[in-house]
Structure 1
Amino acid sequence: MDAGELLAERDHVLVALDGPVAEGLSAHRVADRLRALVAEDRLPRGVARTTDPFAVLAHAAAIGPATERAVHAQWRRVEHEVVAGARVAPGVREAFAALVARGVRLTVVGVLDVEVVRAFLVLHGLDAHVRRLVGRVRSDRAAPDLVASAVHAGAVPVRSCAFVGGTDADLAAARAAGVDAFRHRGAAAPEPVTGADAWFGALSATRPTWPRIRG
């Protein structure tokens, strides 16, 4: 069976935003942008050198709630800039429509603020196919386990779920959650493949066998 048929046998498919849905997401130097809001004080060495925005947010929270709110608001502004420059992955609209037509529930999982993820989906007409969104929320002061959260939110047995991700970290999180996974390799530019075939064709199973779920 091809990737589309394998995914269509699952009740719940989790899809990472970065790569499988949005290409060109570049969040480099986000920590630098956030650090500028707290740079008037002498920063601890770890905060001064970190590339982790959560570390800067934690330092801002230690300063006070107003500083924490300002840093979080800046983080969201930076992420809106990032998604504004991102591209829709080839064939993702058609692939989502095909999966939903087969009765599959779709959840998009992103490390960005959940409202930023929603904005990208709405902007590109993908929101009609997506049942749930899982992303960072304002109460998060550390990086959440988003894949596990998405599985739990879907209220579907793990064996009935599949995950599509584009990074090693995404796929490791899926394995930790006990979810079978596909790696999205990105578009193969020389191949004249369009529509859902372009998206499904960019997927490869990360495990040698996939059990059939539906009869």
Structure 2
Amino acid sequence: MRVEELLTERDHVLVAFDGPVAELPSAGPRTDRLRVMVADRRLPRKVTRTGDPFVILAYAATIGPATERAVYAQLCRIEHEVVAAARVTPGVREALATMAAAGTQITVVSSLATAAVRTFLVIHGLAEHARHLVGRTGPDRTVLPPAPNLINAAIHERATPAESCLFVGSMDADLTAARAAGVDAIRHRRAATSPAAEPATPPPPPTPWFDALSTAAKG
């Protein structure tokens, strides 16, 4: 069976935002922008050295709820900036249209702030087919992949059994979360990065979205 048929025969396809839908740029020194908000006191070494924004967010919570809210709001603003600079994954529009035409429900799932992802889907004309979205709604890291919470929420919202769903993702944590929720998962291979070519060398043609899926990741 072709991968395209594997997806269109399912009642509900859950698609990770990072990779299958959007090619996200590096967030850059986002932890530096968060760290400066809690740097009015001596910081623990873990907070000083971390590249994980949720470590800084957890430390902000020890200072007080107002500081936690302020740091979380800044994290959401940074994510809006990152998503605004993202590119649409080649072929995803056509893939979503194909699945929607087959009657498949489509839900985009993301660990990023829900508002940032929704804005991207609307601006790039993807919300027409990916009408449902489950994203991060608060600072609780424990509900994010590899935990299955977001996948479970997507299944519950559409009232579809896990065996009728299929998940497409690029990140190991996302694929692990899907399997923990009892959902079959297929990996979307990210475009390989390589040194910049000479200006006269044309870029290679984009890989069609369905061709970038690996059925070997299913199960």
Normalized against structure 2, the TM-score is what? Answer: 0.85
1:199 partnered with 2:209: yes
SS of alignment partner, residue 127 of structure 1: coil
Distance in 2 of aligned mates of 1:94 and 1:208:
22
Letter in 2 for 1:201: D
SS of alignment partner, residue 73 of structure 1: helix
1:183 partnered with 2:167: no
Summarize the alignment of residues 1-215 of structure 1 with structure 2, pairs less than 5 Å apart.
1-138=1-138, 140-144=139-143, 145-187=149-191, 190-191=204-205, 198-207=208-217
Cα 1:97–1:208 change in 2 (3 A) is closer
Distance in 2 of aligned mates of 1:152 and 1:26:
32
Distance in 1 of aligned mates of 2:179 and 2:218:
14
- Tell me the CA shift for residue 47 of structure 1: 2.1
- Tell me the CA shift for residue 13 of structure 1: 0.4
Letter in 2 for 1:64: G
- Tell me the CA shift for residue 28 of structure 1: 4.9
- Tell me the CA shift for residue 87 of structure 1: 0.5
CA deviation vs aligned residue, 1:78-134 (integer Å, no higher than 9, x gap): 111111211101111111111111111111011110101101111111111123211
Cα 1:41–1:181 change in 2 (3 A) is same
Normalized against structure 1, the TM-score is what? Answer: 0.86
Cα 1:106–1:205 change in 2 (3 A) is same
- Tell me the CA shift for residue 208 of structure 1: 6.4
Give RMSD over aligned pairs: 2.0
**Conserved? CA contact 1:134–1:149, under 8 Å:** yes
Aligned-pair identity (%): 60
Match in the other structure for 2:197:
none
Distance in 1 of aligned mates of 2:212 and 2:150:
23
Distance in 2 of aligned mates of 1:141 and 1:54:
9
Equivalent pairs, count: 204
**Conserved? CA contact 2:109–2:134, under 8 Å:** yes
**Conserved? CA contact 1:90–1:187, under 8 Å:** no
User: Which runs of 5 or more residues in structure 2 are unaligned?
Assistant: 144-148, 193-202
- Tell me the CA shift for residue 190 of structure 1: 3.7
Match in the other structure for 1:213:
none
Letter in 1 for 2:213: L
Cα 1:125–1:61 change in 2 (3 A) is same
**Conserved? CA contact 1:14–1:163, under 8 Å:** yes
- Tell me the CA shift for residue 34 of structure 1: 1.1
User: Which runs of 5 or more residues in structure 1 are unaligned?
Assistant: 210-215
**Conserved? CA contact 1:181–1:206, under 8 Å:** no
- Greater RCO, CA 8 A, separation 6+: 1
SS of alignment partner, residue 108 of structure 1: strand
- Tell me the CA shift for residue 191 of structure 1: 5.0
CA deviation vs aligned residue, 1:8-46 (integer Å, no higher than 9, x gap): 011110000011000134235432221111111111222
Letter in 1 for 2:152: A
